[in-house]
Amino acid sequence: MRGPSRLCSKNGTFFFRYSSSNEQPKCPSLLDLCIHRITEEMHNYNTFSSLPRDLTQQIFNTLVYTCCLTPVSFQAFRDCSLEDLYLGEYAGAVVNDGWMDVISSQGLSLLHVDLSGTDFTDQGLACLRDCKNTISLNLNYCHQISDCGLEYISGLSNLESLSFRRNAAISAQGLSNISGLSNLVKLDLERCPRIHGGIAHLQGLSKLESLNMNCCNCLTDVDMKPLSDLTNLKRLEISCNKVTDFGISFLKGLRKLALLNLEGCLVTAECLDSLAELPALSYLNLSRCNLSNNGCENFSRLENLNVLNLGFNGITDACLAHLKGLTKLKSLNLDSCWIDGEGLVHLAGHQHLSCLNLSDTYVGTNGLQHLSGLSSLEKINLSFTMVNDTALRKLCGLSSLKSLNLDVGQVTDSGLETLASLTGLTDLDLFGARITDFGTNYLRNFKNLRSLEICGGELTDDGARNIKELSSLTCLNLSQNCNLTDTTLELISGLTGLISLNVSNSRITNTGLQHLKTLKNLRFLSLESCKVTANDIKKLQTTYLPNLVSFRPE
């Protein structure tokens, strides 16, 4: 049954839409009904300038959410004193410079603007100069914005947040145009490959707390020196750049820095000596760097770390000995490191550890026994490891465990039986495991499961009979089980909470699609390499699945 609901916009106002749910729909308010009626009859209105601003804002938000805003209907919002204009990646129409006249007419009332992914050019930005109270401006993926556009917004002195992700036109010289935006708190320059040498222009932004320069592939140690003056920085992201240990030494004075992302940089364990001078550091990403065991003893000085990512480095169990004192750790990523399991004994005292990634390591039966006392552990990734049914017995005491990833492991039906005591599991990934129809009987113990993946080829419709009892499921992936038929879709048709469903590489046909009519919440559907056509899925979407936004084949 379809029922009306209210969704909160970014400025805290509400807008109206219809949603799908099995719950009894709540009666909409009179205001909701009015807004819904207005948006349906937009052709009757030339202007909303006489309406209260909060009401006009809700009408605008609803039109954007439902993709019903057009260049013509947008004219009705001229001089309406709107505060928020979120048109980022808007799919309802081509948003370009022709819209800027109405946008700029909001004048001093305009506070938040998102034009990400639109066709705006530098000339369009020139119209924003009169909106001097603008606080946040997002221009991500706007490939026609260049240094000239930055010059046009240099007078928006109240800006606190500015974002230019994935822009190849902005250069180091262009950054000089934002040097006077002294109220900037957040600046995003991710994937801007021409800003090398321009970081010096940011030295005067003393209020800056968050700076994202991930994946620029151009920053070097020279660019790190100007950052030493930004003493209010709390977040710094410079992954996939050419920064070395020497460049990191310039960050020693950033005593408020809490998050540092160095993934893919040219640093070694020597940088830890500089990072130990950052007392507030709680999140550190050193994935895909040049770390080895040499110098890892300095990890013991990073006592306040909550999150540590060491994935894809050449460290071994010997490095883990230096993590023993990091008892505040909540998340540890050792993906693809040379860990064989014995080093996990050094994690025994980490009572706050809730997330542990051991994917693609050499952890096996013996290693997991050291985790049995981690009472806070909620999520563990053991994909591509040597873990087998016997090893899983070591996890049975982890009553707090909610998410377990066993991709391409050596787990069979017996392993599922072993895990039956972990009734709190909400996410279970068995991609590539050797689970048969008989093994699915043990899934009945996991009444709280929200996400389940059993892919690999041994399930038939009989196995789906046990899955249909998991009423809490929102995501279900049964792909690559080539013996599943339309009967499986009939069996799971009662899982009305499903948002995502994948039954690719099976014997599903167009006839079986009728069983999906009850899945009103479905947003993602994949039936690739099945005997179904895109046209039949579209018909199903139009008539029965209003929330379906992505499907394959398409």
Q: What pLDDT digit, counting tens, does each position of 108-125 carry?
A: 999 999 999 999 999 999
Residue that terminates a domain, selected from 26, 56, 82: 82
User: Does a structural domain hold residue 243?
Assistant: no
CA distance 200 to 398: 50
CA distance 255 to 251: 9
Query: Measuring CA to CA, how many Å separate 86 from each of 81, 153, 288, 314?
Result: 14, 18, 36, 44
Query: Which of 343, 260, 270, 344 minimizes the C-alpha distance to 308?
Result: 260
What does 57-74 look like in DSSP terms, one character per residue? HHHHHHHHHTT---HHHH
Which pLDDT score, from 0 to 100, does residue 5 have? 39
Query: Which of 373, 368, 369 minimizes the C-alpha distance to 358?
Result: 368
CA distance 60 to 83: 11
What does 149-160 look like in DSSP terms, one character per residue? HHHHTTT-TT--
What value does the mean pLDDT take over residues 456-465?
A: 89
Rg of the chain taking only CA atoms, in angstroms:
27
CA distance 485 to 45: 52
What value does the mean pLDDT take over residues 122-139?
A: 95
SS (HEC) of 78-109:
CCCCCCEEECCCCCCCCCCHHHHHHHHCCHHH
Return phi, psi of residue 14, to 5°: -115, 145
User: Does a structural domain hold residue 364?
Assistant: no
Q: Is the pLDDT of residue 97 over 50?
A: yes
Cα 165 vs. chain centroid, distance in angstroms? 16
Q: Check if the beta carbon of residue 196 is closer than 8 Å to that of residue 218.
A: yes
Q: Check if the beta carbon of residue 184 is closer than 8 Å to that of residue 162.
A: yes
Question: Whats the size of the chain, residue-wise?
Answer: 554
The model carries a pTM of: 0.86
Residue that terminates a domain, selected from 31, 54, 82: 82
| Host domain of residue 67 | 1-82
Q: Check if the beta carbon of residue 205 is closer than 8 Å to that of residue 184.
A: yes
CA distance 247 to 263: 14
Q: Is the pLDDT of residue 426 over 80?
A: yes
339-388: pLDDT as tens digits: 988 889 999 889 999 999 999 999 877 788 888 888 899 999 998 888 88
User: Does a structural domain hold residue 45?
Assistant: yes
Which pLDDT score, from 0 to 100, does residue 335 have? 96
DSSP-H helix ranges across 330-437 = 365-368, 389-392, 413-418
Of residues 5 and 160, more confidently modeled: 160
Q: Check if the beta carbon of residue 470 is closer than 8 Å to that of residue 447.
A: yes
In this prediction, residue 29 has a pLDDT band, given cuts at 50, 70 and 90, of confident
CA distance 252 to 248: 8
Of residues 89 and 193, more confidently modeled: 193
User: Does a structural domain hold residue 514?
Assistant: yes
253-257, long-range: CB within 8 Å, 24+ apart, which pairs? 253/228, 253/277, 254/227, 254/228, 254/230, 254/278, 255/231, 255/279, 255/280, 256/209, 256/231, 256/232, 256/280, 257/233, 257/281
CATH number of the CATH domain containing 493: 3.80.10.10
User: Does a structural domain hold residue 298?
Assistant: no
- Give the position of tokens 């008989």: 438
What does 180-207 look like in DSSP terms, one character per residue? T-TT--EEE-TT-TT-TT-GGGGTT-TT
User: Does a structural domain hold residue 17?
Assistant: yes
Fill in the amino acid letter for 217: N
Q: What percent of the chain has a predicted confidence (pLDDT) above 90? A: 77
Which pLDDT score, from 0 to 100, does residue 10 have? 37
User: Does a structural domain hold residue 304?
Assistant: no
Q: Is the pLDDT of residue 489 over 70?
A: yes
Query: Which of 276, 318, 271, 324 minimizes the C-alpha distance to 293?
Result: 318
Q: How many domains are there within the chain?
A: 2
Q: Is 475 helix (H, G, I), strand (E, B) or coil?
A: strand
User: Does a structural domain hold residue 363?
Assistant: no
CA distance 458 to 481: 6
Residue that terminates a domain, selected from 82, 115, 130: 82
- Give the position of tokens 């599991």: 425
Report the greatest alpha carbon distance in the chain: 73
